[in-house]
Structure 1
């Protein structure tokens, strides 16, 4: 690729495929939506661990299962707009390959959490008991994988500038007003 085609690919990756669906220029929806599954799944792991510590863990085991469900629904919403952001990246580029790995990891994590939810709701633990070690391990491994995927998402935004406004647009936030 030439320098001009590289710059054109970068400009393309900064523009939304659909501003109405993926968020306007310089303010994508994907980073906003990912906070739902991340927060829900971190809290579910905290509830899982706490269920092994407290005397009556039923409220924690039930809460954890529903936090997992909320996270799965949030992840599906984030995936929809993230997929649109992926379409903006030119194929065959390191940014596109990073986006594909980011997407694959997130889909695998979401599938693991969906399976974990089904396991819990399908009688994975007797009423009133703490979360089992297998379910706890699945959540911990899934969350660790999500962290790796989050690193790649950060690389897409902060290194490759996917869906980030041009520096000339960003500069307006650093202009000072001179008062007479």
Structure 2
């Protein structure tokens, strides 16, 4: 299988590890503090409720694909400058969008480890090289429309883009980077016993597995609050993180959630936690997914 061969190849590239360490240290410095965390959440797509990076990536890929088509039409019909001018414009649009994709992708990648980190940095290196080629191609095209070397550079860049896109697909569909970690869970929709009320301590996070679904509990006076215990971002256990007021912070990457609503209060998470209704029957806490949960089942 191709993905296994790629996996083995990347695992042998030991030089990627120190480079990844260095780049992640830079990201940690950039996104340090309140302002840095807010910027990181924005680039992650927390405000959008969806990762921002894949929203942007379609633009350069689409623009550069059309640019190749326009180049080919120009080469077949040299009597018209419309097509090569259009290709130049598309290359420029792709470059601008790719810069945004680079920043958002780097931000998402800064929270990865091990195998996904290797795939991510290989993806980034290929895309960065392609971006440089397209930038050079764009400026070569300006004074001499249809410059042969500029066209060749953009075509080489496109091959790198397709290769990088394959690695990006592996990250999401094979490794599961950036996907909603609630997607495979089946939260109870009917009242289901979870734990004894006596197991709960005021203001202290508690986890219980309900039919295979980990649920976070916290007692607040006469109320018992419950949301998914699995962080939507990367699967971290919320009950092991610090609780400040009504906000729980994931111990893995620092995503923050409102334990009353499940809403995301800070990235890198972009998807809300499942919220559960609770009731006490004969000393037993029962739960069911709230109909108005911000995260549907």
Q: Distance in 1 between matches of 2:78 and 2:132?
A: 31
3-state DSSP of counterpart to 1:52? helix
Q: Distance in 1 between matches of 2:99 and 2:45?
A: 16
Matched, 1:152 2:167: yes
- Which one has a bigger Cα radius of gyration? 2
Structure with greater helix share of residues: 1
**What residue is the counterpart of 1:115 in the other structure?**
136
**What residue is the counterpart of 2:272 in the other structure?**
none
Structure with greater strand share of residues: 2
**What residue is the counterpart of 1:104 in the other structure?**
125
When normalised by structure 2's length, the TM-score is: 0.47
Shift of 1:159: 1.2
**What residue is the counterpart of 2:73 in the other structure?**
50
Q: Distance in 2 between matches of 1:170 and 1:28?
A: 18
- Say if 2:119 and 2:167, in contact at 8 Å, map to a contact too: yes
**What residue is the counterpart of 1:12 in the other structure?**
none
- Say if 1:89 and 1:96, in contact at 8 Å, map to a contact too: yes
**How many pairs are equivalent?**
148
Matched, 1:23 2:45: yes
- Say if 2:53 and 2:101, in contact at 8 Å, map to a contact too: yes
Q: How does 1:133-172 map to 2 (within 5 A)?
A: 133-166=148-181, 168-169=182-183
Give the ranges of 4+ consecutive aligned residues of structure 1 lying more than 3 Å apart after TM superposition: 168-172
3-state DSSP of counterpart to 1:79? helix
**Unmatched runs of 5 consecutive residues or more in structure 1:** 1-16, 126-130, 176-180
The answer to which of 154-163 and 47-56 deviates more is: 47-56
